[in-house]
Amino acid sequence: MDETTISLRFPLRQCWRKRGQPMKIPAPTDFRHYHHLVGAYNWHSDDVSALAVAVKNSQAFIEFLEYLLVDCYPTQRLLLVMDNAGYHHSAPVKAALSLFEPRVRVIYLPPRCPDLNPIERYWRHLKDLACANKLFLDLESLAAAVRQILVAQNQPGHPLRFEFLKDLS
């Protein structure tokens, strides 16, 4: 589980330009608006459950936990792996998690170890496909591109789907 933020300040990846020519990239001037996502990566199925939230805080995280545990996985037992964001340890979040205690186990990753969280790789994949080297004039069109990649992720065999190579031997 983790959160990410996407904005009109698009990431630049590999680009081509003529030698000796400066790179000019048009960009919107208002970067103050953000699209926040809270998500969980299912290691077994490679599916992603994600929810757009207005801000990243305890209340938004609880909203995502309810979505995950009531709507997406209403009866399954879950192992939640998450980083040490302050709101992951807040009293309201702990209270919400206690409601699902019989079927939820939480493992907190060590501080400053994002490489241990599989969804970090998925967020990179999502941003590469939906945002990198692309100019969006408004946040709504960016959010639509992100939703398209999220939908593709949960369709087995889709060419845009991100999958971990798992050695189960």
Domain count, the chain: 1
What pLDDT does 25 receive? 67
What pLDDT does 28 receive? 61
- State how far the Cα of 62 lies from the Cα of 151, in Å rounded to an integer: 23
What pLDDT does 166 receive? 75
Tens digit of pLDDT at every position of the chain (169 positions): 999 998 887 777 776 778 888 776 666 656 567 889 999 999 999 999 999 999 999 999 999 999 999 999 999 999 999 999 999 999 999 999 999 999 999 999 998 888 889 899 999 999 999 988 888 888 899 999 999 999 999 999 999 999 887 776 6
Task: Identify the CATH number of the domain in which residue 50 sits.
Answer: 3.30.420.10
Would you say residue 125 lies in a domain? yes
3-state secondary structure of 5: strand
Would you say residue 28 lies in a domain? no
- State how far the Cα of 3 lies from the Cα of 120, in Å rounded to an integer: 9
CA count, 13 A, side-chain hemisphere, 102:
3
Would you say residue 159 lies in a domain? no
Are the C-beta atoms of residues 145 and 43 closer than 8 Å to each other?
A: no
